[in-house]
Structure 1
Amino acid sequence: MSAQPDALPLRHVLTLPAMGSAVRIARETTEQVLAEWGIGPRHPAVDPALLIISELVTNSVRHAAPLSPDLTVIYAAGQDTFAFGVHDRHPYQPPLIPSVTGTGSGGGLGTIMELTLGLGGTAVVRGDADAGGKSIWITLPLRRPPHET
């Protein structure tokens, strides 16, 4: 996957209050955006993407809400890539460590990393220029292996 999220032609931005209902709305919006972009619900990246989005938004609601009353989900896609980021205004940048390291750290983020890496994707934390917030970006490949076509 060579495409960076900023370079992908399809984009959608969703801003929500950092409250429990944000998780459901972000998940439903993800399903709608993917469908509009021609990525069907049976594509192997869809269920993991929905789980990852749910976990990232849950983390923002749980941990960032006191400093970030709103959160933003940014979606981007191209021919063979789906990327999404969850942004909040809490300065803490969590380490993205797969839980398979055996350290016991990472919790939900460990699961996110396992899913992302298992699909051949990437994950990165990007701090805001003013160091007052961050985005966690996930990029997943959309191409199917040759035996699945």
Structure 2
Amino acid sequence: MQPSDLPHRHVLTAPTVPASVRLARQTAEMTFASWGIHAAHPAMGPALLILSEVVTNSVRHAAALSPSLTVTLAAGDDTLAFAVHDRHPYHPGIVTAAGGSGGLATIAEVTAGIGGTCVLRQDADGGGKSVWTTLPLGRTKEQR
């Protein structure tokens, strides 16, 4: 299933400034809770860590060429997905835990550790990119 196929979706556009890390995290917490994915859910800690790290990367590395960033949140019965998009043309390549150190390696390690995926998608015009993360929710029937 593609993130665009998920029934729940919310988009936040924010300036590429440090305060947007907290804004993105708080927006995600409130949005996920409104969809029934509460703070105690096992996927929430990793999701918020990954989201914070990706937004921080955009703030640190893309602000000069991308005055804003976009956070897309999506969810379905068994999947949580989110993306951070900026318009800086630098594309760091494939995200793997073994591929290095720092933010992207941390993102890849945490994502893989809970059975998720993380993909970098370059904009069609080459002028920006999105980091899409998909995590399993593993909900029981009682949680749905």
Q: Sort the TM-score into its range (normalised by shorter chain).
A: over 0.9
Amino acid in structure 1 at the alignment position of 2:126: A
1:124-139 pair list within 5 angstroms? 124-139=119-134
Q: Cα deviation per residue 1:17-73 (whole Å; 9 max; x = unaligned)? A: 000100000000010011000001111100111111110000000000000000000
**Other-structure match for 1:49:** 47
The answer to whether residue 80 in structure 2 is matched with residue 85 in structure 1 is no
SS of match in other structure, 1:120:
coil
The answer to whether residue 131 in structure 2 is matched with residue 123 in structure 1 is no
Gaps of 5+ in 1: none
Amino acid in structure 1 at the alignment position of 2:76: G
* % identical equivalent positions: 62
* Contact 1:83–1:139 (8 Å) recurs in 2: yes
1:37-116 pair list within 5 angstroms? 37-95=35-93, 96-98=95-97, 101=98, 105-116=100-111
Q: Which 4+ residue blocks in structure 1 deviate beyond 4 angstroms?
A: none
SS of match in other structure, 1:93:
coil
Amino acid in structure 2 at the alignment position of 1:138: T
Q: CA RMSD in A?
A: 1.2
* Contact 1:97–1:106 (8 Å) recurs in 2: no
- CA drift of 1:108 comes to 1.1
SS of match in other structure, 1:12:
strand
Deviates more, 1:68-77 or 1:88-97: 88-97
* Contact 2:77–2:139 (8 Å) recurs in 1: no
The answer to whether residue 2 in structure 2 is matched with residue 4 in structure 1 is yes
SS of match in other structure, 1:68:
coil
SS of match in other structure, 2:66:
coil
- CA drift of 1:92 comes to 1.2
Query: How far apart are the structure 1 equivalents of 2:49 and 2:118?
Result: 14
- CA drift of 1:91 comes to 1.1
Using structure 1 for the length normalisation, give the TM-score. 0.90
Number of residue pairs matched by the alignment:
139
Query: How far apart are the structure 1 equivalents of 2:79 and 2:92?
Result: 24
